[in-house]
Structure 1
Amino acid sequence: MLGFLAARQTGLDDPLRLRRAESTRRVFGLELNPDRDVDQVHGNGINTIDIEAVEGRYMLSGGSDGVIVIYDLENYSGKPQYTCKAVCTIGRSNRYVHKFSVETVQWYPYDTGMIVSSSFDKTMKVWDTETLKPAEVFEFEGNVYSHHLSPIARKHSLIAVGTKYPKIQLCDLKSGSRTHVLQGHRAEVLSVRWSPRYEHILATASADSKVKVWDVRRATGSLFTLDQHNGDKSKASSEAVNTAHNGRVNGLCFTGDGLYILTTGTDDRMRLWNSATGENTLVNYGKVCNESRKKVQFTVSRGCSPEFVFVPCGSSIAVYALHTGELVTMLRGHYNNVDCCEFHPDYQELYSGGKDCNILAWVPVLRVSDMEEKSRNSNNKVAADQTPVDPAFQDAWSSDED
């Protein structure tokens, strides 16, 4: 680490390399924080969480009880041990509360004055966080499994919605109406995600084992369908042509730069795809346990080298290296199945929610060996090229130095 600091100080290196190296070290050190609690408000399992990108201060959660909660993640106590307080709750006493399970919640990408939630009560609601009342309500024919607003869109304000029926609905926040539908799937649409790189590109995952990528400006169908066999028909059975998985595809996520798509399915597999060509990169993550029939919310780190994937796996969270498929660690702390997790890129922290009604905070821990190393380097003024490196981080740092 002193080598990065010295190179940055003398102007020989890009400051971003130091940031990537430290971010990577912090992810390697993720552990359950015994000093940070999150208010337990939900009476049933937590299906979805989201952290707003404007300040990185507030977190949303939605549960099987239909309740939506807003938490403040800041520590005002001045003490190491504190609780993230629930500052707002759309609970059972609210006349506008969802009647059934909330499946997805999301902050409006550009300010914290609005949130969007969707539920098994066949509605999607756009909430004003000041009044805790819905400014707009969209009603659908079937249960809503997933929705998503583009994090970068400037030319449209569309919300993509996946429901019990195969058609993907596009709802316009400006007009308050459903503008058009995307047809191509043959079963319920379990997950939808906009690209963080191109504002008109949308990916959808369905129970028909397929993942499709769309340009919503086109009226001629999807751009392409992901094929796990990369077009090799000799490896595919007649039923598995142009399928992403051999089961329901219930997890979908873009990487932070939008260059890759990650998918998970009930065939206990996770796959990494080139988002531009649809090519299966054939990264082997091994068995990734997935027994959920609904959407699974997993997440990818940002600002690290290499990047990491955090995937709910039973009552644990599996952490994989994105491009090698190596299982880095298993984060254990929940008492029941984990349904969702969200990465906080500002602090390299992870939050997870599960059927045990708890939200847990996983934070980087500075181990005694690290502190001793820093003290030794400071006292002895070890030269940058002689700085001892923790073997656990050697691979991450060496990849930055190449």
Structure 2
Amino acid sequence: MLSGVIENVRGGLMKPEAFRKAERTRRTLNFSLSSTRVDGSRVKKKGIFSLDLDCTNRFLLAGSSDGSWYVHDTFNFTQSLDHEKKCVLRCSPRTHHTRSISTVEWFPSDNGAFSTSGYDGFLCIWDANNPGQPVDKYDREEPIYRHHTNPVSGSVIAVCAGGEVNLIDIRIGSSIQKLPEVHAEIKEVRWNPFHQSQLMVASQGGNLIEWDIRSTFQYKCYGVDQVRLSRRPVVTRGSSGITTDSTTALLQAHTGSIDSMRFSSDGQELYTFGASGKMEVRRWKMGVTSDPCIGTLRYGKKHKGRGNFSIGVADNVDPPIVFAPNSTSVVVCDMKDCQAMKELVGHFKQVNCFVYDETYQQGYSGGNDAGIIVWSGNKTTEQTYVEEKAKKYGCRESIESTFQPKPLIDLDDDDD
């Protein structure tokens, strides 16, 4: 069947880009447990809180709940399909974070440097070629929930600590700006990949706010039905404590806390993840003032415990797909028709994070079971791996014997 499609591309009956998009979509929708695995021999038995791939989609950076980080090489140069994604770099026990790592992130367009932040209040800049100690270290004196580096400038980092957002320029080594205080505690920050001055912040109360850092006197607050342009609140400190005077109340994007958000590659859409009775994923259109929410999907039940959740987005496929955690599994969400397509099962404990490799159509998920699971939709490679392994060890195995995704149940939106 694939050979016939290739002949159509060669004959001009099908555009190459349409073929590439269709193949990416097919592989992504067919995700299942990969036969390859991530080497865990050098990793402590602690939960994985954050994952990130570098600009080449080769090196996988993982942050652990014990304050340590690890770098795995995902490429295979062994000329054999039976291989492990080896741990090639790890932090020193004397220099890692003293508490759980909340975010790990490679610098944009540079796989030689990365940043980590944790609940000990420190933001650390690391050189991958000299990982003995951090190149630079910033003390925010409050637990850091999330940080994100501006993908356009590459030097300004937005840090969310203690309910406030500070902008740090690593070229001068200090904080250059502090966003005005809002009503709710800020929990997530994300830069627009196409607009270097646009910063989205999300709060524990379900507020979604767009700041233009060039002028912080006004901001946009996103709600389900509208976008409201408001002036920043005036904060006064007196003998009676801190009082806030604002002309308008903040709109709510989610009824519960917003735990994660991701932009599409063109910066025109935003995907948010929160929990309000059920797990909730929403799709937002940037730059519109009426009906900015163009899709809402509710599934599963709210997590009983607290976690540092992070979603993965595949927007180079049709339909756009969001990979969201659901207890011990990952739900594949179709954000065009707003439906849960299937559930990826493989972890034994709560799933915290997911990262999508758009170049090779693979996924990596981390959870409290201290494992990083590889998800792949290339059935040809997986079948070849099983056949080679069966021939090598003289046993019979089938690709069908691997863990398969199960259909998602209990999707009633009205069920609380």
- The TM-score normalised by the length of structure 1 is 0.83
Q: Counterparts of 1:7-86 in structure 2 under 5 Å? A: 7-40=8-41, 41-53=43-55, 55-86=56-87
Which residue in the other structure is 2:252 paired with?
A: 243
Which residue in the other structure is 2:144 paired with?
A: 144
Which residue in the other structure is 1:273 paired with?
A: 284
Letter in 1 for 2:99: F
Q: Equivalents in 1 of 2:39, 2:64: separation in Å?
A: 15
CA contact (8 A) 2:125 2:136 kept: yes
CA contact (8 A) 2:284 2:295 kept: no
Secondary structure, aligned partner of 1:77:
coil
Letter in 2 for 1:142: E
**Distance change (3 Å), C-alpha of 1:275 and 1:38:** farther
Which residue in the other structure is 2:263 paired with?
A: 254
Secondary structure, aligned partner of 2:7:
helix
Which residue in the other structure is 2:206 paired with?
A: 209
CA contact (8 A) 1:31 1:365 kept: no
Displacement of 1:293 in angstroms is 4.1
Letter in 1 for 2:144: V
CA contact (8 A) 1:256 1:300 kept: no
Secondary structure, aligned partner of 1:159:
strand
Number of aligned positions between the proteins = 357
Q: Equivalents in 2 of 1:4, 1:190: separation in Å?
A: 46
Q: Equivalents in 1 of 2:202, 2:179: separation in Å?
A: 13
Displacement of 1:159 in angstroms is 0.4
Q: Equivalents in 2 of 1:28, 1:286: separation in Å?
A: 19
Q: Equivalents in 1 of 2:370, 2:302: separation in Å?
A: 19
CA contact (8 A) 2:59 2:74 kept: yes
Which residue in the other structure is 2:221 paired with?
A: 225
What's the CA shift string for 1:212-266, capped at 9, x where partnerless? 11111123142x111124379xxxxxx9950111111111111222211111222
After TM superposition, where is structure 1 displaced by more than 3 Å over at least 4 residues in a row?
Answer: 1-4, 292-295
Displacement of 1:91 in angstroms is 4.0
Secondary structure, aligned partner of 1:26:
helix
Displacement of 1:82 in angstroms is 1.2
The partner residue of 1:308 within 321, 335, 350 is: 321
Secondary structure, aligned partner of 2:379:
coil
CA contact (8 A) 1:185 1:208 kept: no
**Distance change (3 Å), C-alpha of 1:110 and 1:355:** same
Q: Tell me, which stretches of 5 or more residues in structure 2 are unaligned?
A: 229-247, 385-416
**Is 1:157 aligned to 2:168, yes or no?**
no
Higher strand share: 2
Which residue in the other structure is 1:200 paired with?
A: 197
Q: Counterparts of 1:72-221 in structure 2 under 5 Å? A: 72-92=73-93, 95-132=94-131, 133-151=133-151, 153-154=152-153, 157-165=155-163, 167-221=164-218
Q: Equivalents in 2 of 1:9, 1:326: separation in Å?
A: 35
**Is 1:326 aligned to 2:327, yes or no?**
no
- The TM-score normalised by the length of structure 2 is 0.80
Q: Counterparts of 1:336-347 in structure 2 under 5 Å? A: 336-347=349-360
Secondary structure, aligned partner of 1:97:
coil
